[in-house]
A and B are shown apart, each in its own frame.
Chain A
Amino acid sequence: MSAVLDHPGDHAHGHAHDHPSGWRRWLYATNHKDIGTMYLWFSFAMLLVGGVNALLLRTELFQPGLQILRPEFFNQLTTMHGLIMVFGAVMPAFVGFANWQVPLMIGASDMAFARLNNFSFWLLPVAASLLIVSYFVPGGATAAGWTLYAPLSVQMGPGMDLAILALHLMGASSIMGSINIITTILNMRAPGMPLMKMPMFCWTWLITAYLLLAVMPVLAGAVTMVLTDRHFGTSFFNAAGGGDPVMYQHIFWFFGHPEVYIMILPAFGIISEVIPTFARKPLFGYSSMVYATASIAILSMIVWAHHMFTTGMPVTGQLFFMYATMLIAVPTGVKIFNWVATMWRGSMTFETPMLFAVGFIFVFAIGGFTGLIMAVAPLDIQIHDTYYIVAHFHYVLVAGSLFALFSGTYYWIPKWTGHMYDERLGKWHFWASMITFNITFFPMHFLGLAGMPRRYADYPMQFADFNAVVTIGAFGFGLSQLIFLWMVIRCIKGGAKASDRVWENAHGLEWTVPSPAPFHTFETPPVVK
């Protein structure tokens, strides 16, 4: 190990010899590409774990009645599905992209704090193990929903304490990751790359990192208060002791709403890289995109209570949060218009990254519109906590974040592995995902409008058909992701040699280095013209 630490600058000859191999390469990793790879594999593993949770609960919901699960275990599955997907799959995947791409895109040799980077990754498997172990403690995993609302979360068994600990670790990991990304972007750009020439992906990550810094400590505070309420006799959320259960929701959603944008802004960044490449035309309104992202970040901090319209806020509160929430639709709309304008009069080709990007815009917009519908407070009274909201956030998180992550993977994987992926597999993956996604989540809108509440282990007979359709779609969607896994494995093992530029119209520093990107890149900073 000391060999690695002692010669960080000794890159002149034979890179293959100056870093450890075998397990040491990964455990002691300080190279942004290795750490990025670990982040991506970790998040994919978590996607599968969270997916298995989802399929188990969808199996129970295939028909009315309780067939395979007890309701208390069902609640554990819904809770863990949420926690694992949000904190284990989506967030680390974006950090993985940041690790691989930010230094390559700004012409830096690595991330600013290499060992901090290592530490923030290795906290994650520990946190994930805590979550998974919690299934096996007495009482099982926490079943309070991913939002962990008090006082239900105060009632839980020791599984809840493990979940709180896991959230602390993942929060610490995110905060360290953000500090690293901010420092890298602000200080390590290649000469001649002012902020306003920076790729959109770096911009969105910069703003996301600030959001993370602002709100992850708030989450840590909220769950710590639950912890002390559980074990140390405080009563932050217990009315009998002078506390207030609704205060938990205010604190949680002050974190939770910016969190939504934390999971979507880097996705906007990826889409803003992919579309110009395949439209062979520069991004329309680059400056406005930057400002719209900033605008979304600012607004995201003052809309949290739209998750709480049914808690019984006073009229003024209800109206304030309704207005602010409706306003946030505007900058989001501007982004969609900008992407469409980028495609307009371009010269488009539709390789898999572009398919996923166009699919993203189309399906994400549906999620955006249902968001607008729910922002209307008097109407939200009807659809709050029903399957309508389940449909909405899967449209923005699966079709939004996840499709963008797929788009980015197909876009950059030739640079990572040095091989072209199998285009046929990619197209199969896209169409299978797109179709089964909609079969899974579109009928949920109807269930929600008809009044089926979310987090229900059983439901009236009249909801049976849509639930059966949803379950079939869910299995299809789950299986479609195996195509992705197969594509990635094949792309690592071999395939057509990728050129340096990979895509005909790809611009940006990452395309100036060889494919696969060597272990060390930009040891002498490139000069941007």
Chain B
Amino acid sequence: MANNNLGVKEQIQQNLQKRNKRLMEKAVPLLLFTAAFISVLTTIGIVLTLVFDTFQFFRKVPFWEFFTSTDLSPLGKDPSFGILPLINGTIISSLIAMCVAIPIGLTSAIYLSEYATDRVRKLVKPMMEVLAGIPTIVYGFFAYSFVTPILTYIIPDLGAKNVLSPGIVMGIMIIPLVASLSEDAMSSVPNSMREGALALGATRFEVTLKVIIPAAISGIIASFVLAVSRAIGETMIVTIASGSSKNFTFDITESMQTMTAYIVEFTSGDAGSGTVGYYSLYAVGFTLFFFTLIMNLIAQYISRKFREAY
């Protein structure tokens, strides 16, 4: 506290001279870089593992057969590994989910952003986000023990395990994702756009449909694609409610297995290390990774193409 006698200028000068201060300035960027690099490193690690073990798999099962055969029976006497039933199950369950999530999510976003009063928005949005916080395993038995029995009243032929019920429940699960991200995109369109259209005698709905949605389209599409990625990667709901039938079928009342559910089934004990079945996990995992990668690239392309800058 001897410094107290010094003037302001002198104290500042003295402070600038301190060595540890300069040291900190050099250490901080390094620390920050390391933190950022960890995630990059992990990604590279995962991709390498996938690629390496997938390569092992394709030494035993021909590439062509894997992607064209509709026959999947990894544990039979004469095992066969066709991924098509899994891809089919994944796509169909995700499509059902999107049929639920896009209309409901987008209309809720429109309501929240363009029609709801501030009070309603502040009440409803957190409640919707709670929906996103429910563990997926809970959704899984909700689909199995609640939605499936109800659907059986409407469709008597519905199997106890079927793809329709988890598809719908997955859709419900991703509604908040679509609604919340689309709402963000729409409410960040400047108010002056709304005023401009309203001043031309447009109704609120015309403003929403012809000004706000086009202006927010890149964010809206991004929310759809993120939701699809989420549905493709979703595991517990389909594992519980859709079962493990490896049939190649388009009948949504039947059981289907998705890529993720297949991985669950095999990692929980059926495949011994080093067997073809074990390596098939990596091939399926790699395909899954490829799917989500493609989705993200599509999202980027679309949102760039439709961007309306304001």
A binds B: no
Residues of B within 8 A of A (CB): none
